[in-house]
Amino acid sequence: MSTSPQDLKGHLNKLVIVGGGTAGWMAAAAMARVLKGGSYRITLVESEAIGTVGVGEATIPSLPAFHRLLGIDESQFMAACQATFKLGIQFADWGQVGVKYLHPFGPYGIATNHGLFQSYWLKRRREGYASALEEWSVTALAASLGRFGTTQSNPAALKGLSHAYHLDAVLYARFLRAYAEARGVERIEGKIIEVARSPFGRVEALGLSDGRRIEGDFFIDCSGFEAIIAEKTLHAGFEDWSCWLPCDRAVAIQCEKSNNGLVTRATAREAGWQWRIPLQHRVGNGYVYSSAFLSDEAANADLSARLEGAATTTARILRFKAGRRKKAWTGNCLALGLAAGFLEPLESTSIHFVQSGLARLFALFPDGDLDPALSAEYNRLTALEYERVRDFLILHYAATRRTDSPFWQHMGGMPLPDSLVYKRDMFLNTGRIVVLSEETFQPASWLAIYAGLELWPKRHEPNIDLLPFEGLVRQFEGMRGEIRRAVETLPAQPS
């Protein structure tokens, strides 16, 4: 029995994960690794009858760090998950039709302070010496030249080279399942029909359709949009952000590949945007749209007509709502993944949210007393993290000059969250990028989007005028050549 006062004093021993999608198996794998040596018993309950949302997934560079924590070998992982390298996101037609820009991973310049680079670049631009931002990023240049990997000489410029992956989420869950099961995680196949709670509100057990009862001390709800414990049982609440991010559907189709590419593509469309995620064996495609502006049929037809190769799957429609679970952690249940919130995959943050949620859980790991101070802190930090990313995503839409469809007219005139207005106006009026706490995207990323959307500050930061300008020109212009030479030493990727 998990509710006797005695047990409440000790550790939480039985950890139960609900759901075997990407989030569930990431949680299982990470817990098996991090809690190694303790007396924890980790169980994951999933039902093969329930599909997972997993489509082709794009990620950000925190994922390689997650794999390092787990001790996962990169080439093994890539082979198992049909994964490819990703160096950034190529945006097309967002600010206006016909304009493309790249949001690369990693910093601009070589071992330089971002603020200094930004001031320099903006000042040169104002003076008429415009250079493409991409030329200053080793990652961006590698992406556009189709090069990536490691080199013998390892020049300094390559320190800024940063990568993530495109992966098949179903294969990834399978890969992590093998990892977790090899490290003692027990998998239970079954459909949950009941969540049993103690008189004090604590979740005690899951009742399965075959009559089995799975007891637990702490539950990780990775059941997806349904949030079977967090919402359906504990009513943790949902903060709806669809007023700012009105896209509520996606149609997804896989197709044969005509070429590779080291970037995710996000192309703005009539009522939303289209993704292209190249894997080793195929390409994942999707159209994220707002059902208020486009029918499912029209979205499907539009996406189907634009595929670069023959479709290998039929179209799947996904329904969602932008927002976050008000209390991701309630009592003895923590929601992760889609159960904790949803932000459209425009900046490939879904897997990252799972990862950072796990990192926070480990930093605030509960024991038997389940002190509410821990969940309060977890929820405070999680709320901030989601809001920061939300604002970053909204910026992509809000600065549009497109008026060619009702959707874009709506997006261009939409009122914005105060926090985003503050940041945007600070940039426009002072050239300064405001970094708040729990920010996922750093100033280099914000600059990429501002510049890509052609939002320019009224003035450059005057700090730059304090430094001898000729020296700066020599230093920075030298960097461009150095970056190019460094990228040319990288192996060419098959196109």
Footprint on residues 444-463 left by other proteins (CB under 8 A)? 458-459, 462-463
Write out the H or E segment, with its range, that includes residue 387: helix 372-398
State the catalytic residue, choosing from 9, 86, 257, 423: 86
- Round to whole Å and give the CA distance between 49 and 3: 32
Write out the H or E segment, with its range, that includes residue 124: helix 114-126
- Round to whole Å and give the CA distance between 213 and 101: 53
Q: Which lies closer to other proteins via its Cβ, residue 265 or residue 460? A: 460
473 interacts with other proteins by CB under 8 A: no
Task: Please calculate the CA angle 302-91-271 and round it to the nearest 5 degrees.
Answer: 35
Give the range of 178-186, 249-257, 429-437, 485-493 binding other proteins by CB under 8 A. 429-437
188 interacts with other proteins by CB under 8 A: no
Phi, psi of 91, deg, nearest 5? -100, 135
Out of 26, 27, 29, 35, point to the residue binding other proteins (CB under 8 A): 35
Out of 466, 470, 471, 494, point to the residue binding other proteins (CB under 8 A): 466
Footprint on residues 327-366 left by other proteins (CB under 8 A)? 362-366
367 interacts with other proteins by CB under 8 A: yes
373 interacts with other proteins by CB under 8 A: yes
DSSP class of residue 368 equals: T
- Round to whole Å and give the CA distance between 304 and 254: 10
485 interacts with other proteins by CB under 8 A: no
Q: Which lies closer to other proteins via its Cβ, residue 300 or residue 382? A: 382
Q: Is 86 a catalytic residue?
A: yes
Write out the H or E segment, with its range, that includes residue 7: helix 5-9
374 interacts with other proteins by CB under 8 A: yes
Q: To the nearest 10°, report the CA torsion of 257, 263, 269, 274.
A: 60
Q: Site size for other proteins, by CB under 8 A?
A: 35
Dihedral sign, CA of 73, 63, 452, 114? negative
Q: How far is the CB of 214 from other proteins (least distance, A)?
A: 22
Write out the H or E segment, with its range, that includes residue 88: strand 88-92
369 interacts with other proteins by CB under 8 A: yes
Q: To the nearest 10°, report the CA torsion of 139, 145, 148, 152.
A: -100
114 interacts with other proteins by CB under 8 A: no
- Round to whole Å and give the CA distance between 468 and 336: 50
Say if residues 114 and 443 touch (Cβ distance below 8 Å). yes
Q: Which lies closer to other proteins via its Cβ, residue 211 or residue 468? A: 468
11 interacts with other proteins by CB under 8 A: yes
186 interacts with other proteins by CB under 8 A: no
By annotation, the residues acting in catalysis are 86
Name the site residues for other proteins (rule: CB under 8 A): 11-12, 34-38, 362-367, 369, 371-374, 376-377, 380, 425-426, 429-430, 432, 434, 436-437, 458-459, 462-463, 465-466
